[in-house]
């Protein structure tokens, strides 16, 4: 039975409701269950032409067919659906949208009731992945399974790279899993992978390859594969091949437990060959390290933190036992980690907050014998923050520490040269904050007492006491200037000048025990105390204006300049002489004349000898998105080392949607001597090319005295954190940074 598009027929007590309009035809399938059961949701079919066959209870639709049911949207040129079983079949181009996933194919068999079906010659998209499959099945409300296809983040029909797989499990907005994979660049297979598993919530790619060539390693290939055992256990597997020195590998693991906190574990091992082996030299070196870190929030007030770092390096033991930073497995293979912490420690700390007191306990033990290190076995610190004495205006605070220390000297020094010490240190402070007219004044007195079990000669020693007193005073003045101008585009709508002078005075007498009689354990400044009678003077000038749309009430205040001067005034300093200012006056300047311009500068002036020991500035212009320029200078002078004066500048410029340019230079200026070479010290140029799903950087760097280097870096746009690069270690220079001399 065919129903005209201009006829509206409502059939009651059956499972079909039909609504026809001039432009489209909507078929409502209203199926009613037995008495006492819930009514099922209708299937809504829109199309240019819709027919209902009562004999087979099927609806047939053609032309711009759209079906929307329980969050699943199906679009096709031709559709047949059974109103009872809700089985549907399409012919021609078909599209299914479900849970942030889009699947297209030549035809589909689909059941709207259980949301399962099969798509032939499928194309799928679930950000950031695209792919194809000979056949794709929707096996549940949250999972698609594809067979004999590929996945990629490249959206074009012939992707630049892809992972070919026999099976692809896609969980929209959750994860993607593949099995029996081949990694292709264009149509060239490069690697086989037994499986691939990536969370769609994870912004990082799971495979990293770093090929290249260096003088020390020769041709090399470094690989890192990220893995997810569970949602709470992830990590990396390392397998590196360096042609001159051999194979290395290891793993890293990150874990998170519900009961005992979270942490990470890392292990890296190599049996390194000597590339220039001679009969009297070592042929191989065992080199590895183990690192473990853990953090456990035992309760809202208690936190436990631990770290263990063990380095075994026979190359270091043979060639530089007294200089562990010359040969070091961490420095050689993980230079960025080494740069952050060249001497990692092993320790366990516990921090606990009481109602009015916090306590920190630490046990620190030397694990790597070639480092000088002070063991803490243990050390306990406590801090009682400032508390008010009842209803009085006085405040009291107390800090202290107690510890047993053992200062270990590095091998091959004999252990008899090690130093052990027990120490207890406590400070009690009473302050009286007050307001006098427009001044904020806080006078204070404090007492510091320290106990040692022995002096520098190992003999018994009396406690040391130091008495402190002082006061902090500050105030604020401001003045408004009715200045309204847009001269040079400054957009000034009044200027407020705020002046904040601050004076901090501090006095302590000569300690009852001189520093020369104590062993310094290099843990803090407990032993290093001497007489002091000085005041720190600071003057801060802040300039503000109003900017924004609308009248003055709607505009917001913004800083346009901060200028600070500070110095120290000494009263009858130790060593004789009269009172006076310290030799140095410090100047700090910050300027924000425009939203796109910032100036930072600092200068130190020695007014005793009338010279400038240091002066630095950075000027940065952000002219548009991905268009910026920076200029800086680093100046240093001393009577012994003379002048070190360097200019730096960098440029980042988006030329067009395909190309971007980066440049960076360091230039030494001044008078050239035999030890100070002027001229261009370092230069670097980078051209970045947009390759659709990749960004490619070609970098050329020249350092005077070190030679030339070329880096080639590929970045997947979908995973910007990962790099396929041809270099040993690359850190982009920062604006105004200063390289080592």
Q: What is the mean pLDDT of the chain?
A: 83
pLDDT at residue 73, rounded to an integer: 84
Compute the distance between CA of residue 372 and CA of residue 407 in angstroms, rounded to an integer: 8
The mean pLDDT value for 693-709 works out to 77
Please tell me which of 41-50, 212-221, 579-588 the model is most confident about, judged by mean pLDDT. Answer: 579-588
pLDDT at residue 698, rounded to an integer: 83
The mean pLDDT value for 228-252 works out to 89
Q: Is 692 among the domain residues?
A: yes
The mean pLDDT value for 29-50 works out to 55
Cα-to-chain-centroid distance, residue 617 = 26
pLDDT band for 158, please (50, 70, 90 cuts).
confident
User: 46 near 25, Cβ under 8 Å?
Assistant: yes
The mean pLDDT value for 711-740 works out to 45
The mean pLDDT value for 695-723 works out to 70
- How many CB atoms lie under 10 A from the CB of residue 451? 14
Residue 638's domain comprises: 622-741
pLDDT band for 733, please (50, 70, 90 cuts).
very low
Q: Both tokens of residue 283? A: 């042929």
Strand (E) positions, 153-187?
A: 161-171, 175-185
Output the CA angle 103-108-111, nearest 5 degrees.
100
The mean pLDDT value for 718-736 works out to 39
User: 334 near 342, Cβ under 8 Å?
Assistant: no
The mean pLDDT value for 472-479 works out to 94
Question: Residue 733: which of 680, 662, 675, 667 has the closest Cα?
Answer: 662
Q: Report DSSP state, residue 410.
A: P
Q: Both tokens of residue 72? A: 């699943």
Q: How many domains does the chain have?
A: 1
Q: Is 664 among the domain residues?
A: yes
Q: List, for residues 560-569, the tens digit of each pLDDT value.
A: 999 999 999 9
The mean pLDDT value for 122-143 works out to 86
φ/ψ of 670, rounded to 5, equals 115, -160
Residue 734 predicted with pLDDT over 70? no
Compute the distance between CA of residue 464 and CA of residue 425 in angstroms, rounded to an integer: 9
pLDDT at residue 646, rounded to an integer: 93
pLDDT at residue 36, rounded to an integer: 34
Q: Is 214 among the domain residues?
A: no
User: 48 near 20, Cβ under 8 Å?
Assistant: no
Q: Is 22 among the domain residues?
A: no
Output the CA angle 528-534-540, nearest 5 degrees.
115
Comparison of pLDDT for 355 and 13, the residue scoring more: 355
Beta bridge partners of 178: 168, 196
User: 431 near 446, Cβ under 8 Å?
Assistant: no
Strand (E) positions, 453-491?
A: 464-474, 477-485
The mean pLDDT value for 59-74 works out to 84
The residue length of the chain stands at 741
Q: Both tokens of residue 681? A: 């010290």
Comparison of pLDDT for 433 and 115, the residue scoring more: 433
pLDDT band for 23, please (50, 70, 90 cuts).
very low
The mean pLDDT value for 399-409 works out to 93
Q: Which residues contact 392 (CB under 8 A, 6 or more apart)?
A: none
Q: Is 452 among the domain residues?
A: no
Q: List, for residues 283-316, the tens digit of each pLDDT value.
A: 889 999 999 999 999 999 999 999 999 999 998 8
pLDDT at residue 463, rounded to an integer: 94
Compute the distance between CA of residue 125 and CA of residue 71 in angstroms, rounded to an integer: 17
Neighbour-count burial of 555, counting CB atoms closer than 10 A to its CB (0-12 exposed, 13-18 middle, 19+ buried): middle
How far apart, in Å, are the Cα atoms of 405 and each of 307, 368, 408, 421? 19, 17, 10, 5
Q: Is 5 among the domain residues?
A: no
Q: Is 334 among the domain residues?
A: no
Q: List, for residues 512-551, the tens digit of each pLDDT value.
A: 998 888 888 877 778 888 889 999 999 999 999 999 887 7
Residue 118 predicted with pLDDT over 70? yes
Strand (E) positions, 338-418?
A: 347-353, 358-364, 373-388, 395-408
Q: Is 234 among the domain residues?
A: no
pLDDT at residue 627, rounded to an integer: 93
pLDDT at residue 727, rounded to an integer: 35
The mean pLDDT value for 255-281 works out to 85
The least confident of 97-101, 346-350, 370-374, 554-558 is 97-101
- On the CB side of 289, CA atoms within 13 Å amount to 23
Residue 157 predicted with pLDDT over 50? yes
* Percent of all residues in the chain with a pLDDT value above 90, rounded to a whole number: 41
Residue 24 predicted with pLDDT over 60? no
pLDDT at residue 592, rounded to an integer: 93
């Amino acid at each position: 039975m065919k129903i005209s598009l201009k006829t509206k027929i409502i059939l009651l007590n059956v499972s079909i409701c039909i609504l026809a309009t001039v432009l489209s035809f909507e078929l409502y399938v209203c199926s009613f269950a037995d008495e006492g059961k819930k009514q099922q949701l209708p299937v809504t079919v829109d199309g240019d032409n819709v027919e209902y066959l009562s004999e087979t209870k099927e609806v047939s639709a053609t032309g711009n067919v759209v079906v929307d049911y329980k969050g699943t949207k199906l679009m096709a040129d031709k559709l047949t659906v059974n109103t009872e079983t809700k089985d549907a079949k399409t012919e021609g181009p078909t599209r299914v949208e479900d849970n942030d996933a889009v699947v297209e194919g030549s035809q589909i068999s689909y059941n709207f009731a259980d949301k399962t079906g099969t798509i032939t010659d499928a194309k799928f998209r679930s950000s950031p992945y695209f792919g194809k499959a000979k056949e794709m099945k929707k096996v549940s409300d949250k999972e698609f399974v594809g067979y004999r296809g590929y996945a990629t983040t490249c959206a074009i029909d012939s992707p630049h790279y892809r992972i070919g797989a026999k099976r692809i499990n896609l969980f929209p907005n959750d994860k993607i899993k593949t099995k029996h994979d081949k990694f292709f660049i264009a149509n060239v297979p490069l690697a086989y992978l037994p499986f691939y598993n990536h969370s769609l919530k994870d912004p990082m790619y799971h495979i990293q390859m770093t090929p290249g060539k260096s003088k020390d390693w020769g041709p090399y290939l470094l690989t890192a594969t990220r893995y997810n055992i569970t949602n709470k256990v992830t990590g990396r597997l390392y397998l590196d091949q360096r042609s001159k020195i051999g194979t290395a590998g290891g793993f890293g693991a990150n874990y998170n437990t519900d009961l005992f906190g979270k942490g990470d574990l890392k292990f890296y091992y190599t049996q390194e060959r000597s590339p220039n082996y001679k009969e009297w030299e070592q042929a191989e070196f065992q080199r590895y390290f183990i690192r473990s870190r853990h953090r456990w929030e035992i309760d809202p007030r208690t936190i436990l933190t631990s770290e263990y770092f063990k380095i075994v390096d026979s190359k270091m033991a043979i060639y530089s036992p007294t200089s562990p930073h010359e040969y070091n497995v961490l420095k050689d293979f993980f230079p960025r980690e080494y740069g952050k912490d060249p001497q990692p420690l092993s320790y366990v700390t516990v921090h606990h907050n009481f109602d009015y007191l916090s306590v920190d306990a630490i046990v620190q033990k030397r694990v790597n014998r070639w480092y000088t290190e002070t063991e803490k076995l243990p050390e306990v610190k406590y801090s009682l923050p400032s508390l008010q004495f009842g209803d009085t205006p006085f405040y009291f605070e107390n800090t202290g520490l107690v510890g047993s220390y053992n200062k270990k000297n590095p091998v091959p020094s004999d252990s008899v040269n090690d130093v052990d010490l027990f120490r207890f240190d406590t400070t009690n402070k009473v302050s009286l904050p007050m307001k006098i007219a427009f001044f904020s004044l806080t006078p204070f007195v404090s007492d510091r007492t320290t106990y040692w079990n022995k002096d520098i000669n190992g003999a018994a020693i009396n406690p040391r006491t130091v008495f402190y007193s002082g006061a902090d005073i500050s105030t604020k003045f401001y003045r408004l200037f009715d200045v309204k101008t847009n001269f040079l585009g400054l957009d000034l709508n009044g200027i407020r000048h705020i002046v904040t002078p601050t004076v901090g005075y501090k006095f302590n007498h000569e300690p009852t025990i001189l520093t020369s009689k104590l062993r310094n354990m290099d843990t803090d400044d407990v032993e290093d105390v001497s007489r002091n009678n000085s005041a720190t003077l600071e003057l801060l000038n802040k300039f503000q204006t109003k900017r924004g749309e609308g009248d003055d009430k709607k505009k917001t205040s913004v800083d346009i300049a901060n200028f600070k001067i500070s110095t120290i005034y000494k009263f009858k300093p130790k060593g004789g002489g009269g009172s006076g200012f310290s030799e140095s006056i410090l100047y700090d300047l910050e300027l924000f004349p425009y939203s796109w311009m910032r100036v930072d500068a600092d200068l130190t002036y020695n007014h005793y000898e009338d010279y400038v020991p240091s002066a630095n500035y950075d000027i940065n212009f952000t002219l548009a998105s991905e268009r910026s320029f920076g200029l800086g200078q680093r100046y240093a002078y001393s009577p012994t080392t003379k002048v070190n004066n360097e200019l730096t500048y960098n440029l980042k410029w988006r030329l067009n949607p395909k190309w971007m340019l980066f440049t960076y230079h360091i230039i030494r200026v001044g008078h050239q001597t035999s030890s100070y070479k002027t001229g261009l010290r370092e230069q670097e140029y980078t051209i970045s090319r947009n390759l659709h799903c990749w960004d490619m950087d070609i970098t050329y760097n020249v350092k005077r005295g070190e030679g030339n280097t070329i880096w080639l870096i590929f970045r997947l746009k979908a995973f910007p954190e990962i790099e396929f690069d041809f270099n040993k270690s690359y850190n982009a220079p920062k604006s105004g940074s200063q390289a080592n001399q």
